[in-house]
Structure 1
Amino acid sequence: MFRGLFTSGAKTPPPPALAQVRNITVGRTVSLDPLAWRRLGDETRFTLDRDALEITAQGLITLEGGQFVHRFYTDDHVMLQAMSDDPEGQAAYDFTLFTPWSSAYPPGERERRLWADRLSEPSFDGAAEDLPVYPRLWFAESDARQPPVTLWETIYDDRAAVAPYARIFQTCMLYARELSDGRELMLALEMQPDGGETTHEIMIGIPLEMAEFRA
Structure 2
Amino acid sequence: MFDLLFGRRAAPTDNALPEVRNVTIGRTIILDPLAWRRFGGALHFPFDGDTMQIVAQGLVELGEGGFIHRFYTDDDVMFQAVANDRAGRELTDVTIFAPWRSSYPSRPFERPAWRERLTARSFTDEGLPEYRRAWFGDEAARQEPVTFWEELHDDRDGIVDRRIYQTSMLFARDVEGEGRELLLAIDQENEAGEVSFEIMLGMALELGEFRA
* TM-score scaled by length of structure 1: 0.89
**Which residue identity is paired with 2:32?**
D
Q: Is 1:213 matched up with 2:201? A: no
Identity across aligned pairs (percent)?
Answer: 51
The answer for the alignment partner of 1:53 in structure 2 is: 52
Aligned residues: CA RMSD: 1.4
SS of equivalent residue, structure 1 residue 188: strand
Q: Is 1:121 matched up with 2:117? A: no
SS of equivalent residue, structure 1 residue 158: coil
SS of equivalent residue, structure 1 residue 112: helix
Q: CA deviation at 1:109?
A: 2.6
Q: CA deviation at 1:93?
A: 2.5
Q: Which 4+ stretches in 1 moved above 2 angstroms?
A: 141-144
The answer for the alignment partner of 1:44 in structure 2 is: 43
Q: Size of the alignment, in residue pairs?
A: 199
Compare CA radii of gyration and give the structure with the larger one. Answer: 1
Q: Is 1:174 matched up with 2:200? A: no
For 1:165 and 1:35, locate their aligned partners in 2 and report how far apart those are by CA, in whole Å: 35
The answer for the alignment partner of 1:8 in structure 2 is: none
The answer for the alignment partner of 1:9 in structure 2 is: none
Would you say the 8 A contact 1:123–1:134 is kept in 2?
A: yes
> 1:21-43: CA deviations, max 9, x gaps?
00000010000011011011111
Q: CA deviation at 1:50?
A: 1.9
Would you say the 8 A contact 1:15–1:160 is kept in 2?
A: no
SS of equivalent residue, structure 2 residue 29: strand
Would you say the 8 A contact 1:17–1:159 is kept in 2?
A: yes
The answer for the alignment partner of 2:7 in structure 1 is: none
For 1:166 and 1:98, locate their aligned partners in 2 and report how far apart those are by CA, in whole Å: 21
Q: Is 1:104 matched up with 2:100? A: no
Q: CA deviation at 1:141?
A: 5.0
The answer for the alignment partner of 1:7 in structure 2 is: none
SS of equivalent residue, structure 1 residue 109: coil
For 1:88 and 1:44, locate their aligned partners in 2 and report how far apart those are by CA, in whole Å: 33
Would you say the 8 A contact 2:46–2:99 is kept in 1?
A: no
The answer for the alignment partner of 1:190 in structure 2 is: 187
Structure 1 residue runs of 5 or longer lacking an equivalent are 1-13
Q: CA deviation at 1:147?
A: 1.4
SS of equivalent residue, structure 2 residue 134: coil
* TM-score scaled by length of structure 2: 0.90
The answer for the alignment partner of 2:161 in structure 1 is: 165
The answer for the alignment partner of 2:128 in structure 1 is: 131
For 2:14 and 2:137, locate their aligned partners in 1 and report how far apart those are by CA, in whole Å: 42
Would you say the 8 A contact 1:37–1:47 is kept in 2?
A: no
For 1:108 and 1:149, locate their aligned partners in 2 and report how far apart those are by CA, in whole Å: 24
For 1:49 and 1:38, locate their aligned partners in 2 and report how far apart those are by CA, in whole Å: 8
